[in-house]
Amino acid sequence: MVPMRFLVFNKKTGEFTTQKPLEVFPSMFVTHQLNAFENPDGTLVADMVVYDSHDPYVKYFYTDFLTTQLYPSTARILRFTLDTKGSRVMYSYLVPQETIAADFPQINHGYEGRAYQWAYLVEHPFASDNTILKINVDDPSGSRNLKFKSDPSLVLHEPYFHWI
């Protein structure tokens, strides 16, 4: 099994900041990133939607699959904390469930690259009567998470923040 690997570079210099990739087991397939930022202590945080395999792109997004069944509960919403000085990676869950039927995350783009509090995901993508899940990334218990449900005949998709 191949571990998940992170290559970290300095955006100002374009140089890698680690000699070797930072690795964490088990292997994971990332579909989308919610956000990433640097903590005051120098650690890097990367919040991502991950799967155990590449099934989302070779199975779940095809019409044959989507017209016969709901999007499966196989995504994990994880926060990776990268300690480049200690050459280690830790991860934790951002939602109380280990796996969830959600993807297509968004945040308020005013917080890109900075610490943030809220993220939005589509539960049961491509299905009518689905929901937008608002998660508090600082509270993995889910006690402050909210769901937005629309008309049952509609299909909600990736939320987007529009600046006026």
Of 82, 30, 24, which Cα lies nearest the Cα of 52?
A: 30
Tell me whether residue 154 is in a domain.
no
**Who has greater pLDDT, 64 or 117?**
117
Report if residue 161 sits inside a domain.
no
**Measured CA angle at 85 (ends 98, 11), to 5 deg:** 85
The reported pLDDT for the residue numbered 72 is 83
More confident residue, 127 or 82: 82
Domain count, the chain: 1
Q: Which residue stretches of the chain are H helix?
A: 55, 63-66
Kindly state whether residue 50 falls inside one of the protein's structural domains. yes
Annotated binding site for Fe cation: 32
Q: What is the pTM of this model?
A: 0.90
Annotated binding site: 32
Residue 164 has a pLDDT of 61
Inside any domain, residue 155: no
d(CA 35, CA 33): 6
Q: What is the pLDDT of residue 87?
A: 93
Residue 163: inside a domain: no
Phi and psi at residue 60, to the nearest 5°: -70, -25
**Assigned domain for 160 exists:** no
Place of tokens 């990367």: 46
Is 157 inside a domain boundary?
no
Distance CA 99, CA 112 (A): 25
Q: How confident is the model at residue 163 (pLDDT cuts 50, 70, 90)?
A: low
Indicate whether 52 belongs to any domain. Answer: yes
Query: What is the per-residue pLDDT across 11-38, written as a single tens digit (0 to 9) for each?
Result: 899 999 888 999 999 889 999 999 999 9
Q: What is the pLDDT of residues 47-82, one digit of tens each?
A: 999 999 888 777 777 777 777 777 788 999 999 999
Q: What is the mean pLDDT of the chain?
A: 91
Domain containing residue 98: 4-149
